[in-house]
Structure 1
Amino acid sequence: MKHLNLFLAIILLLTGSVMAQSRDITAIIREFHDPSSKNVLVVAHRGDWRNNPENSILSIEDAIKMGVDMVEIDLKKTKDGVLILMHDQTLDRTTSGHGKPSDYTWDELQQLTLKNGHGGPTRQRIPSFEQCMNTVKGRVMVNIDKGYDYYKDVYKILVKTGTVDHAIIKSAKTYEEVKAENGDLLSSKLIYMPVVYLNKANADAIIKSFESNLKPAAYELLFATDSALINTNYQTIIGSGSKIWLDALWPSLNAGHDDELSVEEGKPEAGWGWLIAHGARIIQTDRPKELVAYLRERGLHR
């Protein structure tokens, strides 16, 4: 009986661990659209690229296991029109190939393999955007970076995979530009998020225009100095019913309140804590496991 009880206890512990790593997508989407929530959503930049090739299916899977709410990906298009996950303009840094992805067909790219974070070889293949969305479906949201040029193609894949509400597409364009180029897909269909560089003179005007015309679910704000953030009217975003998304990736995006300060230098309150204190309810990170743990310890992540 003692052995049976121990076995059951282990099973319950393991089951609880798995459940803790998985969140219902409806809860994540609901929280993303809830401006009153104090919880902080975690976005894994290019998945878990420290342990897997960036923008790979395994990097996405491992990030999901860490308990993130969203994965960030980048898109390029092949010669025959297939959207693939790829950050760079060329294949050289992240794959065994050379040249532009647009010079290859999908089948040709599948003969290549991905490199890991140290540039070493793996046996993993370049994934398509469709494969990515089938992987995340019902599990986490996706932030599409470097994908605005393929806006309509992205939407078609999201419809095909039944994941329109899972995805966010973004750019640093003004509302007027986005409306002119993709107005038929704004708001009620594919979620659009403005990226605003707060050091630019027109930052407040860009925010005001989006507040008046679109009321986005979130704004991604970039700033190189504390004053660039504090001296703008970014606080109006919260009052307008939108969330603030801040990046912890490297210093020029967040005035030095970054992942390195939080993890390598052991000062999370000066890094992630500062971002949260200044309104961040979504944080994109290269340290997803550590950020999830930090937030859960403070009751800021489910």
Structure 2
Amino acid sequence: MSIRFLRRARYLIFWGTLGMAVSARAQEKLHVLAFESTQHLRDFFRWTPQSTPLVSGHRGGMEVGFPENSIAAFENTLKHTPAFFEIDPRLTKDSVIILMHDATLDRTTTGTGRVADYTWEELKKLKLKDAQGRVTAHGIPTLAEVLEWARGKTVLNFDKKDVPLAMTAAIIRKYRADAYVMLTVHTAEQALYYYRDNPERMFSAFVKTPQALAEYERAGVPWDHMIAYIGPEVTPANQEMYRLLHARGVRCMISAAPTYDKLKTKEERAAAYRSVIRDGASVLESDLPIEAAEAIKAMSRK
């Protein structure tokens, strides 16, 4: 065996080992939520009196430099805290599912006009803007790319935009993603459609009133398959919903995105986030998930 060969072998082993170490360190930086099965997913989100508050990144989060609905935003959040992410699947002109909250491109990308008027080949040339309107290096992701990325790292909560229910169900099935996907449903009928398609599915359901709760009861979708979105702020009416939903083992979510996230100072926002948890919610959805997680950290049980 030649000296040259031995040197080359040592070189490859060194860089291979270094590469594995760097990869391991990068993975260690992420606070992952990984589930082996749909049952494991449902058990994790089940409410009990000992439940630890959870944080959901609204549109993945809107931190400076990290555009909403981007893999970069998801990874940035997970470097600081465990979280799951509400995202916005939307269709292109040629029926590719991408992530985009608005029906138009102007606010969040370097493009203009309606998303539905462009093909995926055209849209992939654009760059995303952050919440301050600054152009970033990040492009628009497809839902398929995000599903591949999220496996073993986090849970994705699909909001309802313009993607047909059947198409949404099909892509979850294609990527075998039920153990790390939940579906936002605005009505009991939507939940029932997905449940009949696959009775293992998990939902983030709009259950803001006792009347809406009764509709889900009549539909027969099991309560251990869902968390409940009850509104955007602390109100006296929430107490009745906590009582009804907790009796069924359902976590209640408040979204601070349209309300408390818009307070002017970090101190004001932190106080508001803590008030949401003290009020009885056990899921806090926020445009600022890193800030929200830090604010409620002391309230969490190990």
Match of 1:237 among 235, 245, 254: 245
Q: Which runs of 4+ in 1 moved over 6 A?
A: 15-18
Contact 2:97 2:142 in 1 (8 A): yes
Contact 1:223 1:229 in 2 (8 A): no
Contact 1:87 1:146 in 2 (8 A): no
Residue in 1 that maps onto 2:229? 220
Q: How many pairs align?
A: 271
Residue in 1 that maps onto 2:204? 193
Residue 102 (structure 1) aligned with residue 116 (structure 2): yes
Contact 1:20 1:67 in 2 (8 A): no
Q: Distance between the aligned counterparts of 1:183 and 1:299, measured in 2?
A: 32
SS at match of 1:26: coil
Contact 2:232 2:258 in 1 (8 A): no
Residue in 2 that maps onto 1:90? 104
SS at match of 1:209: helix
Q: Which has the higher contact order (CA 8 A, sep 6+)?
A: 2
Q: Distance between the aligned counterparts of 2:264 and 2:297, measured in 1?
A: 15
The alpha-carbon deviation at position 149 of structure 1 amounts to 4.1
Contact 1:44 1:68 in 2 (8 A): no
The alpha-carbon deviation at position 153 of structure 1 amounts to 1.7
SS at match of 2:156: strand
Q: TM-score, normalised by structure 2?
A: 0.79
Percent identity between matched residues is: 25
Residue 35 (structure 1) aligned with residue 42 (structure 2): no
2:201 maps to amino acid: L
1:39 maps to amino acid: T
Contact 1:211 1:237 in 2 (8 A): no
Q: Which of 1 and 2 has greater Rg?
A: 2
Q: Distance between the aligned counterparts of 2:293 and 2:300, measured in 1?
A: 10
The alpha-carbon deviation at position 73 of structure 1 amounts to 0.9
Contact 1:220 1:244 in 2 (8 A): yes
Residue in 1 that maps onto 2:93? 79
The alpha-carbon deviation at position 156 of structure 1 amounts to 2.1
Contact 1:148 1:170 in 2 (8 A): no
Match of 1:130 among 144, 169, 180: 144
Deviation digits for residues 95-139 of structure 1 (CA, Å, limit 9, x no counterpart):
111111111111111121112222122232110001111111101
Residue in 2 that maps onto 1:292? 293
Residue in 1 that maps onto 2:171? 157
The alpha-carbon deviation at position 24 of structure 1 amounts to 4.4
Deviation digits for residues 201-243 of structure 1 (CA, Å, limit 9, x no counterpart):
xx2111123145212421101156623324x444111111211
Question: CA separation of 1:247/1:262 partners in 2, compared to 1, >3 Å: closer, same or farther?
Answer: farther
Which ranges in structure 1 are unaligned for 5 or more consecutive residues? Answer: 1-14, 252-257
Question: CA separation of 1:229/1:223 partners in 2, compared to 1, >3 Å: closer, same or farther?
Answer: farther
